[in-house]
């Protein structure tokens, strides 16, 4: 399904795009069933932000297939001009209520800007069950690093980063919107789009969803939260869908590159 000129322009202007993937309800239900036993027992709503399963694609074929959905991959190829490489999935049973952030604090690339997130609703999602909160156009702001925050690097300083972003949102006068997404729809966002988790007032409802994170071909990848301008924590992603033999060869290559960097080569 080719993107229209209007869709491409919207993504460039606003930093997001919503697409209907035409999913069979059986596929979304299969993902929910596959992942459910892996959530911790107890009150999922009370756990909220911490309730997620990373990389369900490693045990759920349905989750893997969704991460590699051809409509998503084709759209990302069109929007970024490079082949998209899926490297992580996150599955959620309820709304996260996560504070506003940009994915570029967690994942970035050289050259910069080649990262995207795709959030797929596995059931209908609205303001009552944890709709995504996002700020249209915020992807055009400068990427914020821990040097902008003014603290040291490392995830122990993440609350300071979140407070910094809240101040940025207020200072820029950004207005939040909420993503009302129907089952089977994908919400594609630019890696630098500011977003977070909305409230989840109706505790009788779940909010099953899957997020897949993508890098793009022809880049190097690193973790900004643990990096400084002169010393970056490089990432060696395991690509979803890469054959086992290729993964093993890639692992050897990554180890050799890491040793070379450590030796100053």
DSSP 180-208: -B-TTEEEEEETT--EEEPP---TTS---
Angle at 229 (CA atoms; ends 228, 233), nearest 5 degrees? 50
110-119 per-position pLDDT tens digit: 999 999 999 9
Q: What is the pLDDT of residue 264?
A: 57
Read off the pLDDT of each residue in 196-206 and give the average, rounded to a whole number: 93
Residue 10's pLDDT band, with cuts at 50, 70 and 90, is very high
Read off the pLDDT of each residue in 206-218 and give the average, rounded to a whole number: 98
Strands 115-121 and 177-179: unpaired
257 pLDDT more than 60 = no
CA dihedral 248, 254, 259, 262 (to 10 degrees): -150
The CATH number linked to 246 is 2.60.120.620
Q: What is the pLDDT of residue 133?
A: 98
Phi-psi region of 84 (alpha: psi -120 to 50; beta: other; left: phi over 0): beta
Residues whose CB falls within 8 Å of the CB of residue 114, separated by 6 or more in sequence, listed in order: 80, 82, 191, 215, 216, 219
Specify the number of domains making up the chain.
Answer: 1
254 pLDDT more than 60 = no
Q: Containing domain of residue 36, as a range? A: 5-263
Q: What is the pLDDT of residue 227?
A: 98
41 pLDDT more than 60 = yes
The 8-class DSSP code of residue 256 comes to H
**Bridge partners for 96 per DSSP:** none
177 pLDDT more than 60 = yes
């Amino acid at each position: 399904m080719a993107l229209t000129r209007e869709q491409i322009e919207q993504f460039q202007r606003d930093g997001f795009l919503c697409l209907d993937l035409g999913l069979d309800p059986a596929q979304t239900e299969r993902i929910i069933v596959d992942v459910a036993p892996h959530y911790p027992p107890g009150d999922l709503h009370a756990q909220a932000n911490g309730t997620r399963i990373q990389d369900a694609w490693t045990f759920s074929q349905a989750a893997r297939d969704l991460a590699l959905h051809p409509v998503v991959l084709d759209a990302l190829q069109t929007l970024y001009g490079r082949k998209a490489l899926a490297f992580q999935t996150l599955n959620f049973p309820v709304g996260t209520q996560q504070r506003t952030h940009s994915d570029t604090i967690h994942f970035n690339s050289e050259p910069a800007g080649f990262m995207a997130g795709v959030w797929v609703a596995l059931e209908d999602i609205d303001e009552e069950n944890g709709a995504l909160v996002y700020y249209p156009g915020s992807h055009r702001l400068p990427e914020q690093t821990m040097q902008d925050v003014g603290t040291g690097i490392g995830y122990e300083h993440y609350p300071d980063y979140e407070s910094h972003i809240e101040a940025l949102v207020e200072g820029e006068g950004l207005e939040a919107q909420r993503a009302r997404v129907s089952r089977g729809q994908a919400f594609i966002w630019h890696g630098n789009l500011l977003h977070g988790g909305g409230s989840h007032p109706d505790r009788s409802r779940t909010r099953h969803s899957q997020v897949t994170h993508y890098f793009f071909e022809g880049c190097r990848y690193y973790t900004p939260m643990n990096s400084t301008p002169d010393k970056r924590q490089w990432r060696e992603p395991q690509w979803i869908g890469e054959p086992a033999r290729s993964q093993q060869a890639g692992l050897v290559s990554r180890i050799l590159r890491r040793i070379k960097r450590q030796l100053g080569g």
